[in-house]
Amino acid sequence: MSANSFDARSSLQVGDESYEIFKLSAVEGSERLPYSLKVLLENLLRTEDGANITADHIRALGNWDATAQPSEEIQFTPARVIMQDFTGVPCVVDLATMREAVKELGGDPSKINPLAPAELVIDHSVIADKFGTPDAFVQNVEIEYGRNKERYQFLRWGQTAFDEFKVVPPGTGIVHQVNIEHLARTVMVRGGQAYPDTCVGTDSHTTMVNGLGVLGWGVGGIEAEAAMLGQPVSMLIPRVVGFKLTGELPAGTTATDLVLTITEMLRKHGVVGKFVEFYGDGIGAIPLANRATIGNMSPEFGSTCAIFPIDAETINYLKLTGRSEQQLALVEAYAKEQGLWHDPSVEPVYSEYLELDVSTVVPSISGPKRPQDRVVLAEAAAKFAEALPTYSAEASKPTAVTAPDGSSYEIDNGAVVIASITSCTNTSNPSVMLGAALLAKKAVEKGLTVKPWVKTTLAPGSKVVMDYYEKAGLLPYMEKLGFNLVGYGCVTCIGNSGPLPEEVSAAVNEADLAVVSVLSGNRNFEGRINPDVKMNYLASPPLVVAYALAGNMNVDITREALGQDAEGNDVFLADIWPTEQEVADVVAGSIDEAMFDKGYQDVFAGDHRWQSLPVPTGNTFEWDAESTYVRKPPYFEGMAKTPSPVTDITDARVLAKLGDSVTTDHISPAGNIKPGTPAAQYLTANGVEKRDFNSYGSRRGNHEVMIRGTFANIRLRNQIAPGTEGGYTRDFTRSAEGDGGAPVSFIYDASQNYQAAGIPLVVLAGKEYGSGSSRDWAAKGTALLGVKAVIAESYERIHRSNLIGMGVLPLQFPEGQSADSLGLTGEETFSITGVTELNEGRTPKTLKVKAVGADGTSTEFDAVVRIDTPGEADYYRNGGILQYVLRSLIG
């Protein structure tokens, strides 16, 4: 029950239903707040308890100073939690482990139960092993169930053991597309109350739901677990960037071109830790699917969220996707009552302002390794040639390939070996999906074919896509070009592209070719998409098809022919690019409400495979000692009812010294498990054949695999071990061996030696440390490797808070300084003093760091403490967020 200090409790009548609401107008200053802060204000009004959430917090938000730097902490209580299976499995593993820990400490295990709706969509596990054939989907699903049976049984147990926990089975769709098309409420109803739908998700692209006016963002799995258990998310009242959109997209451009332009603008402007909110006359002209595409890319430009307000377009989309008439009426009535309905004539107050005339957008792609590195399509071939020397010493390396059917061809640097229509970012958008299919139709009619070395995959985010492809009669053309359905899931975007054909892979590796993937996704970081592929480009679905036809990034597809027709005439991109009207007509004629009703009718039921899985029973899980997928983690071993005091860090060694822009993809285990690595050695020792290694993501429920894969990305460059690439460091516990220099070893092996010797570890890093996905394992793995502190030049929001959530201290070099400017090599021993102040309830602004080199010379500096809120200090004092929650529940 809310303390209701502002007398905000009221009621709203919609049709025959009456709902309790908390009126924003009760708080002075609320009317001038940006949309996103109004949602936060309602959240505080409704959850005001006089302790964690007080009248002062509500006043602080009502009196928001747009110009101030964030300093005021508030507690945000999300309405629900959304998860995918890679990050969701460890969440459920942790909840199951917490139940046992509560039992051991004399508490009631059933207290560990989601208090808010928690929905998990299995979308990250399907791998494109099979492609280019009509039965590719069926085969890939069979393989997926074979590989993941243990995980899926565990999730089915969770579905029965925990209240408020639902699982969308495999082969249904991608979490964020399922969220906007079905799970999102826009206005939530629970216990007779109506309030804005808000959510946190265990995937950074949770922000896709911002397109529907739902405030939500990605958090680490550890934060999500805490939210499920009723803990509010601690945050500072943010700065809000107003992004004004005017004009309309010109002919020949797509929503993808728009979002890549916005991504580049916002990354350049600097929006890390800020809310971004879209407003202006141009919003009405932006279809909901385009809004969702923009919201989806929020992690790529670094903002916490990228939200659109509710308007008539929101209602139209909710209607199209099968929401009930009562829900539609409620959303509109509630938004208008609370001042959440978009009024283009009103310009809210923002902290910062940007503006884009949408009519200036031009066709673009992004790459070869970061989403924000936009390349104008007309310059793509030239820009590729500029980037190539970083990846290959030679501009050209023609290499012969013999296919299984005996035919032969040559591939070269720049060969497009993967062309994938994949990821929630674009597969949720009918205009670009049908645009791709129309382009395919025209290409087939001209007699064009995809180059034989291109692995073509189609992995939509929901079954509705295949329904409208079939209704439009366009599926045969996609399939003729090899874009057969491979699965409903993230697939290529998450690194599940599957192996290249053996002959292509062999040629690429023998000649060390710099080959390319082109995908309609949101992530193209190094080492993510496929181990054979060095360069990765994000593009709209129509351009994915175009590059599959061109076959090489050296081809300027805006000027050069994609191929020849039956008469030998050149065919250019302009000849097959569908007009805006053609796309609009086919969208209007092929998508209807009934498709969404049918697609989501039994969304939690699953197919015969899901339903026939044997399910364990009981409210605590029976761990299988032989399992290599799901194991009980060690977080609560030996945990007492009260936390031990935190201590200073003495004589720590550096596990890794890293440069700028090290992402959570570099840190957190993802993608393939490479033979010979510690994770592969562990699996082999446990009787797992190489063909059954599966991916790191699928084994996130086994800490033994994950700890061995932390910092093991094949593109990681640890400066302590120069000349190496991958999960290597130098092990100073073995410095007496051989010539006296510390030998190079796997990071995992060195960590085990350091921990056995009782030596704490630190990581040194550059700017934007931990950018990328909300990877809880980037923090969990760091902690389990024995790292006590990270010292970076700057952090991305999610990873910094996740480190604290695992009891790792995030520190920052003094402004303008870095490891290099301080002359640190990583060979020093580090001592950090002043940490014990936290035991007295104070968070020091800086801590003394002393680094002593092998020759006895020392370097001292004051590192900034990046524990930003009192709540985070509580988590750190308890050794992590889960320990804090557990103690709160039994206390």
What is the per-residue pLDDT across 825-875, written as a single tens digit (0 to 9) for each?
999 999 999 999 999 999 999 999 999 999 999 999 999 999 988 888 999
Same domain, residue pair 354 and 438: no
Q: What is the enclosing helix (H) or strand (E) of 161?
A: helix 136-161
Q: Closest Cα partner for 595 from 478, 431, 471? A: 471
33, 664, 728 from 720: Cα distances, Å: 49, 19, 9
Same domain, residue pair 560 and 583: yes
pLDDT score recorded for residue 66: 97
Note the Cα 207 to chain centre separation in Å: 9
Measured distance CA(151)–CA(700) in Å, rounded:
10
| Residue at 664 is within a domain | yes
- Structure-token pair, residue 837: 């102040």
Same domain, residue pair 873 and 748: yes
| Residue at 596 is within a domain | no
CATH number of the structural domain spanning residue 485: 3.30.499.10
Q: In what order do the strands lie in the sheet containing 516-519?
A: 374-376, 364-366, 535-538, 516-519, 416-421, 455-458
Same domain, residue pair 322 and 414: no
pLDDT score recorded for residue 103: 86
| Residue at 306 is within a domain | yes
pLDDT score recorded for residue 871: 83
CATH number of the structural domain spanning residue 760: 3.20.19.10
For the chain, list residues with pLDDT below 50: none
Contacts of 871 (CB under 8 A, 6+ apart): 73, 75, 234
Measured distance CA(21)–CA(29) in Å, rounded:
19
Same domain, residue pair 880 and 811: yes
Measured distance CA(446)–CA(438) in Å, rounded:
12
Count CA within 13 A, CB hemisphere, residue 202.
Answer: 31
Do residues 322 and 291 make contact, with C-beta atoms less than 8 angstroms apart?
A: no
Instruction: Provide the 10 A C-beta neighbour count for residue 446.
Output: 17
Domain span including residue 737: 649-890
Do residues 83 and 158 make contact, with C-beta atoms less than 8 angstroms apart?
A: no
Measured distance CA(824)–CA(844) in Å, rounded:
24
Alpha helices in 785-880 (DSSP H): 797-805, 870-877
| Residue at 623 is within a domain | no
Q: By three-state DSSP, how is residue 50 classified?
A: coil
Classify residue 512 as left (phi > 0), alpha (psi -120 to 50) or beta: left
Same domain, residue pair 376 and 498: yes
Measured distance CA(85)–CA(80) in Å, rounded:
17
Same domain, residue pair 465 and 353: no
Pick the last residue of a domain from 327, 360, 393.
360
Same domain, residue pair 352 and 368: no
- Residue entry with tokens 């946190």: 200
Q: Please, what is the Cα angle at 519 between 513 and 520, to 5 degrees?
A: 165
Alpha helices in 206-324 (DSSP H): 221-228, 255-269, 288-296, 298-301, 312-320
Pick the last residue of a domain from 572, 591, 610.
591
Do residues 621 and 798 make contact, with C-beta atoms less than 8 angstroms apart?
A: no
Number of domains in the chain: 4
- Structure-token pair, residue 708: 């061995």
Same domain, residue pair 383 and 512: yes
Do residues 454 and 548 make contact, with C-beta atoms less than 8 angstroms apart?
A: yes
Pick the last residue of a domain from 323, 338, 360.
360
| Residue at 619 is within a domain | no
| Residue at 625 is within a domain | no
Instruction: Name the E strands within 454-523.
Output: 455-458, 516-519
Same domain, residue pair 733 and 787: yes
The one-character DSSP state at 552 is B
| Residue at 686 is within a domain | yes
Same domain, residue pair 57 and 101: no
Same domain, residue pair 163 and 306: yes
The one-character DSSP state at 285 is G
385, 386, 728 from 390: Cα distances, Å: 10, 9, 22
* DSSP code string of 336-358: HHTT-B--TT-----SEEEEEEG
Measured distance CA(366)–CA(525) in Å, rounded:
11
| Residue at 477 is within a domain | yes
pLDDT score recorded for residue 403: 94
57, 457, 459, 541 from 431: Cα distances, Å: 43, 19, 16, 10
pLDDT score recorded for residue 868: 85
